[in-house]
Amino acid sequence: MSEYLENQLENRFNLFKLWNHSSPKPDFLKTHSSSIKAVVGNTKIGADANMIDSLPNLEIVASYSVGLDKIDLGKCKEKGIKVTNTPDVLTDDVADLGIGLALAVSRKMCVCDRFVRCGNWINGDFGLASKFSSKSVGIVGLGRIGSAIAKRAEAFNCSISYHSRSKKPNTNYKYYSNIVDLAADCQILFVACALTEETHHIINRKVIDALGPKGILINIGRGAHVDEPELVSALLEGRLGGAGLDVYENEPNVPEQLFSLENIVLVPHVGSDTEETSKAMADLVISNLEAHFKCKPLLTPVL
């Protein structure tokens, strides 16, 4: 958790840091379960059915994240538990990173960096890379973050297409109801949708093969959007041109086969991790909690 968020929570509430208690936590729950009225989670842990059932007086789950895949929304709705997240404040950072990954992969920035640091430049010039400008871009999920990626890609004169559950109004971007068709018709594919049962492994072998040996996959959504073994195989076999990944299926574990590949850029789930956005997210978590306990309208309600 953010140190700033922890400090703000401690200043206002009686805070239990669950990670300080051994797992399983029967003694902790036996002692404190009745007094806990709020849970604050993030991209790693939220509130599953077991946790919700073990906290009989739980009133609100506040996520320090825009994603809701770590929260059992059905159970919360059933029990009348309110849920909030932190949309909007992280949109620009995540979109910036997505474009940055696309540039880093296509222009081989990390390989170039190692080339210079290792003193290889003195032996000759670095080879050629691929341009990002004017590429055809596909986006899976045209929500806040997907739209922000599209806006940025347009500034690079990229053509924009997208796939989502339904066609979006008020946009001239080309819509594909079939994600395989989208992948076949773009050169760089961004994954920016919410993780649901329907979008789990939405990037499978068919999509990867449609994107092809010159295509680039950028995932700034959730690791489980991508069938990771299929992605690894495609990169090793040259069926996919490259990838930029901020998220992984089993974080913080990353397939070791990826480490030696020069056509992939790996970052450790840092899409929203800037000083400015981390504070804004924390402030939004606090504001939602304070609004709830003062019986005022929530700022960013999910339920």
Q: Quick: pLDDT tens for 113-140.
A: 999 999 999 999 999 999 999 999 999 9
Q: Are 105 and 252 part of one and the same domain?
A: yes
Domains in the chain, number: 2
Q: Is the pLDDT of residue 244 over 90?
A: yes
Q: Name the 3-class secondary structure at 276.
A: helix
The answer as to whether 298 is a domain residue is no
Mean pLDDT of the chain: 96
Q: Are 116 and 51 part of one and the same domain?
A: no
Structural contact between residues 292 and 83, judged by C-beta atoms closer than 8 angstroms:
no
Q: Are 97 and 137 part of one and the same domain?
A: yes
Structure tokens that stand for 104 in this block: 């880093």
Q: Are 82 and 142 part of one and the same domain?
A: no
The answer as to whether 300 is a domain residue is no
Q: How many CA atoms lie within 13 A of 64 on its CB side?
A: 22
Q: Are 119 and 244 part of one and the same domain?
A: yes
Q: Is the pLDDT of residue 23 over 80?
A: no
| pLDDT tens-digit map of 84-124 | 999 999 999 999 999 999 999 999 999 999 999 999 999 99
Domain of residue 202, CATH code = 3.40.50.720
Mean pLDDT of 75-83: 98
- Domain holding 101, by residue range, is 91-266
Q: Are 198 and 112 part of one and the same domain?
A: yes
Structural contact between residues 193 and 164, judged by C-beta atoms closer than 8 angstroms:
yes
| pLDDT tens-digit map of 176-197 | 999 999 999 999 999 999 999 9
The answer as to whether 137 is a domain residue is yes
**pLDDT for residue 22:** 66
| pLDDT tens-digit map of 24-75 | 567 787 888 999 999 999 998 899 999 999 999 999 999 999 999 999 999 9
The answer as to whether 11 is a domain residue is yes
The answer as to whether 27 is a domain residue is yes
Q: Are 229 and 287 part of one and the same domain?
A: no
The answer as to whether 53 is a domain residue is yes
Q: Are 167 and 146 part of one and the same domain?
A: yes
Say whether pTM exceeds 0.85: yes
Q: Are 77 and 188 part of one and the same domain?
A: no
Residue 97 β-bridge partners: none
Catalytic amino acids?
222, 251, 269
Q: Are 213 and 65 part of one and the same domain?
A: no
Q: How many CA atoms lie within 13 A of 276 on its CB side?
A: 6
Rounded to an integer, what distance in angstroms lies between the CA atom of residue 220 and that of residue 152?
Answer: 15
